[in-house]
Structure 1
Amino acid sequence: MDYAPVVSRTLRWYAHAARDLPWRRPDAGPWAIMVSEFMLQQTPVARVLQPWQDWVQRWPTPAALADAPSGEAVRAWGRLGYPRRALRLHQAATAIRDDHDGQVPDDYQALLALPGVGSYTAAAIASFAFGRRHVVLDTNVRRVQARIATGIEFPATAPTAAERLLAEQFLPTEPARAARWAVASMELGALICTARGPQCDQCPVRTDCAWHRAGRPAHEGPARVGQRYQGTDRQCRGALLAVLRSSDDAVPAEELDTAWPDRAQRERALASLITDRLVVAVGPDRYALPD
């Protein structure tokens, strides 16, 4: 099927409907875009805006971050969640400083070799920062193309080879246009073709959408279960990190004890933070962020 009309309509819509996000502005360089991609993983845009601004002001280059202690990256990450991303970003910045003359590489394979950079992130950075032609297949894009091309409400839980082949059919040949399509289709999924309450009456490609033409049939696949956070080890880890981030010195164990009431869970969470190198033991029963 020829998806060129879908691409054209989406690009025209994006030209006037796109959100003014700072990492999309012309003056946002590859490093600022890379930071945004790390922060936006599993995190809503609204939560990322201020931490991103603070981060790129404090560390405007990869070398600036690499020269700082990794614990400062964890501290600055704040409550964005999944703090291992902060360590991975610090490690990636160090590799860029040491192996790429301080410049974010523009090659997909070189990006993929950086710590914390998977196939999606490498494609996104290459596309958004350098205008390369790559399939950028995030949750929003997967949902958009599933509804348009296959007539189903939601794609499979994890990306499939068939989805990637389908995404190639949408992807324009010209690199700059392909990069524009990548961000425009992502925005369409974020603003219009949402998981809940899609606004089909405002969609620029509703006449091309198989799901819309079929009467928007309900999802028949496995139940979509949201991630629980309250009371989890992840919440406990966050509570312990919050205490450590608030102090410039090592924190005694009894101070961490007040952050979470369940002793077994607290000890388990602390052990996992140490294993992940987000926390270090400093002397007997004292803990700190890494140097």
Structure 2
Amino acid sequence: MDFQPLINWYRTHQRDIVWRTPDTSPWGILLSEVMSQQTPVARVEPIWLAWMERWPTPAAFAQASSDEVLRAWGTLGYPRRALRLLDCARTIVSQHDGKVPALLDDLLALPGIGDYTARAVLAFAFGQRVPVVDTNVRRVVSRLVHGAYLPGPARRSDLDDVTALLPNDEAPEFSVAIMELGALVCTPTPRCSECPLLAQCSWQLAGCPAPSEDELAAAKRRVQKFAGTDRQVRGLLMKVLREAQEPVPQSALDVVWPDAAQRSRALYSLLEDGLAEQNPDGLFRLPQ
């Protein structure tokens, strides 16, 4: 395939994202990738900027306390990511002399760093030729290579698919370009007329076959709802704890959600995950 049209399109249409600059450190790239998981870039950018100003290196961040980190995390969601980042920074300091490692196995051994994040750091921080596969990339590859409107469940062979597409030169730019294409053009409802790869797309060449009912149902099941879930209740409870200057009584938490059983379950899960704690007086607070 000829991917020069994709590279040209990216250079013209790429979003202006604060960490997409040559002077962003490997730590800044790692932080951006963790923060952006299941979270829109627009919500991440101001928090990323504040964190990089406050904790510009793993060594600086490693000195933070858990409650400082959770307050700074704000409403990004999935706050366990914040505590795992703290563990990650401390491991980088203790095992890698405060520098983000540039080897895949070393990155995967860091707390909270999975396959996607490790490879994204290698590609975007260190310029290595490695496959970077997120939801957007899987959707593009599904249509471009396999001729399927929607990708199936994530699988290990996704890495092989993307590796086969990677150019020998400009692989990191290709990786961010194909991600951007999935985010802006090859979206769940695609804008095919704007696609620089339209003439090479297997789905287009096959006549744009519609997904089956089973494929649509499976895709719908993979979309995580939020309203009314325990995750929403956890977020409301965390908001009370983040905004409180002192430990709070049970009554301050009871008012955030009417379903006592669900509220209790959510609170217990926060305690179990180390995102909240109860002091000897029975009051609740962020972990110290």
- Could you tell me how far apart the structure 2 residues matched to 1:137 and 1:38 are? 14
Superposition CA RMSD, Å:
1.2
- Could you tell me how far apart the structure 2 residues matched to 1:170 and 1:143 are? 14
Pick one of 81, 87, 91 that aligns with 1:85.
81
TM (norm. structure 2) is: 0.95
Deviation at 1:222, TM superposition (A): 4.6
1:218 aligns with 2:218: no
1:101 aligns with 2:94: no
- Could you tell me how far apart the structure 1 residues matched to 2:5 and 2:267 are? 51
- Could you tell me how far apart the structure 2 residues matched to 1:131 and 1:165 are? 19
- In structure 1, what is the equivalent of residue 270 of structure 2? 273
- In structure 2, what is the equivalent of residue 52 of structure 1? 48
> Secondary structure at the residue paired with 1:36?
helix
Pick one of 3, 8, 13 that aligns with 1:17.
13
Pick one of 243, 246, 251 that aligns with 1:249.
246
Structure 1 alignment gaps of length 5 or more: none
- Could you tell me how far apart the structure 1 residues matched to 2:239 and 2:275 are? 12
- In structure 2, what is the equivalent of residue 233 of structure 1? 230
Matches within 5 A, 1:70-219: 70-158=66-154, 160-174=155-169, 177-196=170-189, 198-219=190-211
Matched length = 283
What letter corresponds to residue 286 of structure 2 in structure 1? Answer: L
- In structure 1, what is the equivalent of residue 286 of structure 2? 289
What letter corresponds to residue 251 of structure 1 in structure 2? Answer: V
What letter corresponds to residue 217 of structure 1 in structure 2? Answer: P
- Paired-residue identity, %: 49
TM (norm. structure 1) is: 0.94
> Secondary structure at the residue paired with 1:155?
coil
Deviation at 1:148, TM superposition (A): 0.7
What letter corresponds to residue 61 of structure 1 in structure 2? Answer: T
Deviation at 1:164, TM superposition (A): 2.4
What letter corresponds to residue 290 of structure 1 in structure 2? Answer: P
What letter corresponds to residue 272 of structure 1 in structure 2? Answer: S
- Could you tell me how far apart the structure 2 residues matched to 1:74 and 1:212 are? 46
What letter corresponds to residue 69 of structure 2 in structure 1? Answer: A
- Could you tell me how far apart the structure 2 residues matched to 1:165 and 1:119 are? 13
- Could you tell me how far apart the structure 2 residues matched to 1:99 and 1:251 are? 38
- Could you tell me how far apart the structure 1 residues matched to 2:260 and 2:135 are? 37
Deviation at 1:251, TM superposition (A): 1.3
- Could you tell me how far apart the structure 1 residues matched to 2:259 and 2:281 are? 21
Pick one of 60, 66, 77 that aligns with 1:64.
60
